[in-house]
């Protein structure tokens, strides 16, 4: 027994303490995601390259999604697209960072992503739509001109 006590006395003193771990309230994904947004916005400014971050594909806890949206806030521009279930787009309080939500017919969010761009891609007019709009405008102008001349359509 005395041999055992002697071995124990030779072990160096180890002090134990309580180490505070980083907060896991948000699961640890929020801060890296915000850094990714910062990097994307920097790339947009310096290189003109847009960035797309699919939030639906990330392992974000509900509290992280809420905290992210709270942090991003709401900027000056909001866009509603009315097709199928529809989409909502709003610029965050950080110009160039857009939140895009795709909704089902009941208004539930099916997918959410961030688009770091000068203007969201989904809100841009498509070439076919522009061509159709041009035809409609030409027809409208012709009808208006005919009406002012007194011609019947």
Looking up residue 58, the CATH number of its domain turns out to be 3.30.1370.140
Residue with tokens 């076919």, as numbered in its chain: 128
Find the mean pLDDT for residues 6-30: 57
- Structural domain boundaries enclosing 142: 30-146
Residue 43 maps to a domain: yes
Q: How many domains does the chain have?
A: 1
**pLDDT the model gives residue 3:** 54
pLDDT 10s digits, 66-75? 999 999 999 9
Q: 35-60: b or e for each residue (b if 16 or more CB lie within 10 Å)? A: eebeebbeebeeeeebbebebeebeb
**pLDDT the model gives residue 125:** 86
Residue 2 maps to a domain: no
* pLDDT at position 9 over 80: no
pLDDT 10s digits, 85-114? 899 999 999 999 999 999 998 888 899 999
For 92, the token pair is 């965050």
Residue with tokens 């929020």, as numbered in its chain: 30
Parallel/antiparallel/unpaired status of strands 78-81 and 51-54: unpaired
**pLDDT the model gives residue 146:** 86
Bigger pLDDT: 124 vs 25: 124
Instruction: Quickly state the pLDDT bin for 27 (edges 50, 70, 90).
Output: low
For 64, the token pair is 């992280």
Residue 129 maps to a domain: yes
Residue 47 maps to a domain: yes
Rounded CA-CA distance 115/98 in Å is 5
The helix (run of H) or strand (run of E) holding residue 143 is helix 127-149
For 136, the token pair is 């409609």
Residue 62 maps to a domain: yes
Residue 52 maps to a domain: yes
* pLDDT at position 5 over 60: no
Please tell me the pTM assigned to this model.
0.72
Q: Report the chain's mean pLDDT, rounded to a whole number.
A: 85
Residue 50 maps to a domain: yes
Residue 10 maps to a domain: no
The helix (run of H) or strand (run of E) holding residue 114 is strand 109-116
For 153, the token pair is 């359509």
Whether 84 and 78 have beta carbons less than 8 Å apart is answered as: no
């Amino acid at each position: 027994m005395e041999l055992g006590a002697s071995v124990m006395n030779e072990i160096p003193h180890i002090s134990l303490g309580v180490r505070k771990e980083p907060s896991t309230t948000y699961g640890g994904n929020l801060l890296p995601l915000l850094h990714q947004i910062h990097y994307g916005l920097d790339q947009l400014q310096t290189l003109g390259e847009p960035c797309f971050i699919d939030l639906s594909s990330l392992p974000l806890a509900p509290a992280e999604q809420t905290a992210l949206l709270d942090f991003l806030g709401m900027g000056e521009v909001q866009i509603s697209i009315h097709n199928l279930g529809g989409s909502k787009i709003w610029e965050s309080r950080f110009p160039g960072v857009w939140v895009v939500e795709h909704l089902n017919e009941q208004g539930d969010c099916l997918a959410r992503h961030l688009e770091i761009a000068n203007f969201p891609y989904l809100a841009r007019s498509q070439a076919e739509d522009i061509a159709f709009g041009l035809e409609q405008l030409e027809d409208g102008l012709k009808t208006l001109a005919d009406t002012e001349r007194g011609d019947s359509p």
